[in-house]
Amino acid sequence: MNISSFDDLLTAARQQAQPQRLLFVFASAELPPDSTAAQREHFLAGQGGALVPVMCVDKTPGELLSFAELVQESQQFGQEWSIVFAAALSGSAGIEPSSEAAEKPLQRMVEAIKAGTLGTFIPFDRLGQAMRLG
């Protein structure tokens, strides 16, 4: 299935043979202190910068009805973000993964984003549309 929106992600997660837990890492774009004048100009135009994870959460597809709900929940923490990365953790034997089981994969996601290794995650903009980075 081609995932072009957050709704597509929820649909795909609900259709899997094993129950899923969705993992989300919210990140903001920041300009590194050693940036060049050209990099600053691009950043001010809404391009470039470094992605910095600011918060993360895990949810089952049943706990999350829409992207608007995820955005509303994120606002309760007072952290500005510009992109949210999503991944899924699959259960086994019909049992969904617990929040505790999601802790280490979420931490690995945070570390991967810090390192710029984004290939296995689906990035969404603030409107819930899948993005292509690069």
- Dihedral-angle region of residue 46 (phi above 0 means left; psi in -120 to 50 means alpha; beta otherwise): left
Confidence at residue 1, expressed as pLDDT on a 0 to 100 scale: 63
Confidence at residue 102, expressed as pLDDT on a 0 to 100 scale: 96
Q: What's the CA gap between 79 and 76, in Å, rounded?
A: 8
Q: What is the DSSP letter of 121?
A: S
Residues 47-78 pLDDT 10s:
767 789 999 999 999 999 999 999 999 999 88
Taking the chain (134 residues) in consecutive chunks of 10 residues, what is each chunk's mean pLDDT? Answer: 89 95 93 78 73 94 93 90 95 94 96 88 94 77
Confidence at residue 70, expressed as pLDDT on a 0 to 100 scale: 93
Q: Compute the mean pLDDT over every residue in the chain, rounded to the nearest whole number.
A: 90
